[in-house]
Structure formats: structure tokens, C-alpha cells
Structure 1
Amino acid sequence: MIVAAALFTYAVLLCTLAPRLLRGADWTERAPRLGIVVWQVLGASALTAAVLAGLALTVPTVRVSADLAELLQACVMALTAQYASPGGAAAGAAGAVLALAVLGRVAWCAGATLLPIRGERREHRAVLDMVGRADPVRGVVVLDHDEPAAYCLPGRHRRTVITTGALHSLDEDQLAAVLAHEHAHQAERHDAVLAWAQTLSRAFPRIPLFRTAEMEIARLVEMRADDVAADRAGRLTTAAALLAVAGGHAPAVALAAGGSTAARRVRRLIEPHRPLSRARIAAGSLTAAVALAVPLLVIGGPAAAATQLNYCPDGTPAAQLTTMR
């Protein structure tokens, strides 16, 4: 019961305090890749803590044994002892409901999020194959449209799309920056990162951590792609390229170089570059690792202590224990 309470308290604190401390933090913009990792880890840690809290209520700690028969016997006896009382049965049932509800909700929302996206991307790829023309030199699909726009459709059959308006508006360096931006989305699987954030936000829309993480990750993946493009073509060139394609329209299921965050990203590229020090990056990475490990450490302590428990005293036959009960 204590372990379950500790895990549940940790999950609640993480879901309520983390968004207030991290939302819009300066260091995440200076190291967007680390910021993405931290937001993902916080969501995974809170989810893991909630599930483990339910399991801790459902399954009591049993003696760890190398003998499978003894381990199963200890499990049965521990379960019988817990569920013999109304309080133990109620706690176990509540834990099972919590764990199954969390896992079931996430699985359902993952399907509800991913399946429509896959369908829309498949349909849009079919349209591109009909109305676009391949540019094998640049590795893109060119659409005849006066509006400057560039975007990518990630996935197994990925496409990088650019309009003729963008080709006419961008010089070679700016075009290289835009293409590097889109290739970064594909290479670092930002579509999967966003889909996971959307799944958790959709599954638990009233929990601040998941709702804020979705918005922050959507912002940070664009900044991360901007940084890759800036390494390729320079920060000012990338900023000019973003301005040129900022007003371009792209499908909702695509990842575009422009978009509503373009203005803030352009200012970030124009301002003096202040990357995080290696020490702060290491500290942030260590913090993320600790946050992910906390639920496992909390439940791992009792599991380790279980090796010292003796549910079946030596020399006491199982039948005799059953009769005594």
C-alpha cells in the first residue's frame, strides 16, 4: 500500500508541477533536442508510475525463488492472504482497474490517433503521385503552385514536397536550408514523437503535463529542424528561407517548414546563438534518466526486499499450511 501511494503521489506531482516549471523554459529553446527528450521522459515516467501503482495494489510482494513451484506457491498464498479481507480485495480491485484503465485508454487513443493519420497520408501520397513531378536531383516532389511552400510526409513511403513558388522565391542556399529542415524531420522521426505526444494528450486531456507536452514538443521539433538547417546553410540564411515559406499551406498530417511558429523561430535564428554548455546538457540528461528510473526504483525496493521474506517456512508442507489457514 505504501509503495502504491508513493508511486501515485509521484505521478500526481509530476503531472501538475512539471508543466509549470518547464513550459516555455529558455534552456529548451537553446537545446531543443534535449527539451524533446525531457518532455517525452516526463510523460513516460508519469504513465509508468500510474500503472505500477495499480499493479502494486493488485499483486502483493512475494518471495523471489529460483524454484518455479515455490514461487507459484508463494504467489498463491500471498494473493490468498491479501484478498481474504474486504479491504485487501477492494485495494486489489482498485489497483487492477487503475492499471488496466490507463493501459487500455492509451492503447485506444493510440489507435484513434495513428490510424486516421496513416490513412490521410496515404491518400495525400496518391494525390502527389498524380499531380506532382519527381525531381531526382533534389530528391523532392514538385507541385505547380504559386504559393511558396515546403513540407514532408513522413513514414515508410516518405515524400518531401516543394512548390514551384518556393523554387522561384528561394536561392540555392535557402533551398538547401528548407530541404535540410524537412530531412531532419524525417531522419529523427519527429512524426513518431508528435504522435506519442498527441496520443497522451488525447488520452488524458485534463492532465496539464500531457496537454502542455504536446504543445511544447510541437514547437521544439520545429526548432530542432531549424538547428539542423542552420548547421547546413547558416542561421541567417535559414531565417530568410523560413520567412519565404512561412505563409505556405500544408496538409495537417504533414510537417512543414513554415507554420504558426515561424515568426518566433525566425527571431530565435536571428538572435545571438547561445547553446547550452556540455555540463548543463549532461545535467539535463541525468535528470531525465533519474525521472524515468524513479518509478522502477520505488517498486524495485520492495521487490528486492522480497528475497528475504519467507512465506513457506522450511519443513512445513504446503498441505499443512493450507489446513492451518
Structure 2
Amino acid sequence: MIVAAVLFAYAALLSTLAPRLLRGAHWAERAPRLGIVVWQALGASALTAAVLAGLALTVPTVRVSADLAELLQACVMALTEQYASPGGAAAGAAGAVLALAVLGRTLWCAGQAIVRIRRERREHREVLDMVGRPDTARGVVVLDHDEPAAYCLPGRHRRTVITTGALRALDDDQLEAVLAHERAHQAERHDAVLAWAQVLTNAFPRIPLFRIAEAEIARLVEMRADDVAAARSGRLTTAAALLAVAGGRAPAVALSASGSTAARRVRRLIEPHRPLSRTRIVAGSLTAAVALAVPLLVVGGPAAAATQVNYCPDGTPAAQVTTMR
């Protein structure tokens, strides 16, 4: 019971306090890729802790043994002891419901997202094949439209799309910056990063961590793509290119250089570049690693201790079975 309570409390605190502390953090804008990793790690840690809390209530700790018969006997004794009392049975049932509900809801929303995204991408590819003109020299699909816009359609049959309005509005260096931005989205699979964040939000919309993480990750993946483009074309050139296509619209299934964050991103590119120090990058990486490890360590401590317990000595009553509760 103690392990389950610790895991549940950890998940609750992480889901409520972390967004307040990290939302809009300036350090993340200076190292957007690290910021993405931290937000992903926090979400995965909270989800893992909730599932393990349910399992800790449901399944007692048993001694690990190479002897299969001894291991099975220990499992039977531990389970019998746990479910012998009404309180133990109720706790086990509650834990099973919690673990299955969290996993089931997550998998259901993930399955729905995969089906929807594949359908929308296929439909938009079919439209592009009908109305777009391939530009093999640039590796893009050109759409005849006066509105300056550029976006990428991710996936196995990826496309980078640009309108004739954007081709007229951008000079060669700015066009290269826009294309580098879109190719960075594709190369670093930002579509998968965003899709997973959206899955957690759709599965648990009332959890502040998942809801805020989705918005922060959406902002940071654009900044990360901006940085890739700036490294190739220069920060001012990239800022000018973003301004030129900032008002462009893109389908929901695509990733675009425009959007509601464009103004803030342009200011960020114009301001003096201050990369995050190596020390702070290491600290952020360790924070992500610790967040992922905490649920496993909380469970692993009692489990490791249980390996030293003899569950099946001659004449030992079942009441001596140690459980995770």
C-alpha cells in the first residue's frame, strides 16, 4: 500500500506542480530540443507512475527465483494472503481498475489518432497529387495560390509544399530557410512528438501536465526547426522568411512555419542569441532522466528487498508473505 500511495502522490504532484514551474520557461526557448525532451519525460513519468500505482495495489511483490515451481508457489501464497481479507481484495480490485483504465484509455486514444492521421494524410496527398506541381529541383510540391504559405506533410510519403505566393515573396536565401525549417520537422519526426502529446491530452484532458505539455511542445518544435534553419541561413534571414509566410494557412495534419507563435519566434530570432550553457543542458538532461527513473526506483526498492525473503520455508505461515501493499 505504501508503494502505491507514493507513486500516486508522485503522479499527482508531477501533474499539477510541474506545469506551473515550467510553463513558458525561458531556458526552454534557448534549448528547445532539451525542452521537448523534458516535457516528454515528465508526461511519460506521470503516466508510468499511475500505471505502476495500480499494479502495486493489484500484484504483491514475490521473491524472484530461477526455480519456476518455487516462484509459482511464492506467487500463489502472496496472492492468497493479499486477497484473503476484504480490504486486500478491494485494494487489489481498485488497483487493477486504475492500471487498466489508464492503459486502456491511452491505447484507445492512440489507436484513434493513428487511424485519423493516416486517413487525413492520405486524403491530403491525393489532393496534392491532383492540384500540385512537383518541383524536382527544390524537392517540393508547388501549389498555385496567392497566399504565401509553406508546410510539410509528414509520414512515409512525405511532401514539402510551397505556394506560388511564397515563391514570389521570398528571395533565394529566405526560401532556403523556409525549406530547411520544414525539412527539420521531417528529419526529427516532430509529427510523432506532437501526436503523442495530443494523445495524452485527449486521453486525460483534465490533467494540467498533459494539456500544457502539448501547447509547450507545439511551440518548442517550431523553435527547434527555426534553429535548424537559422544555422543554415542565418537568424535574420530566417526571421524575414518567417515574416513573409507568417499569415499562411496549412492543413491541420501538416506542420507549418506559420502559426500563432510566429511573432514570438521572429522576436526570438532577432534578439541576441544566448545558447544554454553546457552545465544547464546537463542539468536538464539529468532532470528528464530522474523523472523517468523515479517510478521504477519506487517499485524497484521493495521488489529488490523481496528477493531476499524466503516465502516458502517449511512450516512458515502464509501471513509472513511480504506484499507491496
Give TM-score scaled by structure 2 length: 0.96
Q: Which runs of 5+ in 1 are unaligned?
A: none
Deviation by residue 1:68-120 (Cα, 9 ceiling, x = unmatched): 11101100110011001000000000000000000000011112222112111
Offset, 1:309: 1.0
Cα distance in 2 for residues equivalent to 1:285 and 1:207: 24
Cα distance in 2 for residues equivalent to 1:109 and 1:54: 20
**Counterpart residue type for residue 105 of structure 2:** R
Cα distance in 2 for residues equivalent to 1:208 and 1:321: 47
**Counterpart residue type for residue 159 of structure 1:** R
Identify the residue that residue 124 of structure 1 maps to in structure 2: 124
Offset, 1:321: 7.2
Identify the residue that residue 92 of structure 2 maps to in structure 1: 92
Identify the residue that residue 202 of structure 2 maps to in structure 1: 202
SS at match of 2:307: helix
Structure 1 segments of 4+ aligned residues over 6 angstroms from their partners = none
Identify the residue that residue 309 of structure 1 maps to in structure 2: 309
Cα distance in 2 for residues equivalent to 1:246 and 1:157: 26
Identify the residue that residue 65 of structure 1 maps to in structure 2: 65
SS at match of 1:269: helix
Identify the residue that residue 140 of structure 2 maps to in structure 1: 140
Cα distance in 2 for residues equivalent to 1:84 and 1:97: 19
**Counterpart residue type for residue 76 of structure 2:** V
Cα distance in 2 for residues equivalent to 1:98 and 1:147: 50
Cα distance in 1 for residues equivalent to 2:60 and 2:82: 7
Identify the residue that residue 156 of structure 1 maps to in structure 2: 156
**Counterpart residue type for residue 291 of structure 1:** A
Deviation by residue 1:196-239 (Cα, 9 ceiling, x = unmatched): 00000011101100000010000000000000000010000000
Identify the residue that residue 26 of structure 2 maps to in structure 1: 26
Q: Which runs of 5+ in 2 are unaligned?
A: 319-325
SS at match of 1:308: coil
Identify the residue that residue 173 of structure 2 maps to in structure 1: 173
Cα distance in 2 for residues equivalent to 1:61 and 1:256: 49
**Counterpart residue type for residue 254 of structure 1:** A
Higher mean Cα deviation, 91-100 or 60-69? 60-69
Cα distance in 1 for residues equivalent to 2:118 and 2:151: 16
Superposition pairs of residues 26-45 of structure 1, within 5 angstroms:
26-45=26-45
Offset, 1:58: 0.3
Cα distance in 2 for residues equivalent to 1:294 and 1:215: 25
Number of aligned residues:
318
Identify the residue that residue 2 of structure 2 maps to in structure 1: 2
Higher normalized contact order (CA 8 Å, seq sep 6+, divided by chain length): 2
Cα distance in 2 for residues equivalent to 1:20 and 1:166: 39
Cα distance in 1 for residues equivalent to 2:251 and 2:300: 46
Identify the residue that residue 184 of structure 1 maps to in structure 2: 184
Identify the residue that residue 253 of structure 2 maps to in structure 1: 253
Instruction: Label 1:321 to 1:294 Cα distance change in 2 as closer, same or farther (>3 A).
Output: closer
1:225 aligns to 2:199 (yes or no) = no
Cα distance in 2 for residues equivalent to 1:247 and 1:121: 22
Deviation by residue 1:19-39 (Cα, 9 ceiling, x = unmatched): 000000000100000000000
Cα distance in 2 for residues equivalent to 1:47 and 1:3: 16
User: How much identity, in percent, do the aligned residues show?
Assistant: 86
Deviation by residue 1:256-297 (Cα, 9 ceiling, x = unmatched): 011111001000000111110011001100111001000000
Give TM-score scaled by structure 1 length: 0.96
Cα distance in 1 for residues equivalent to 2:185 and 2:122: 18
Cα distance in 2 for residues equivalent to 1:273 and 1:201: 32
SS at match of 2:312: coil
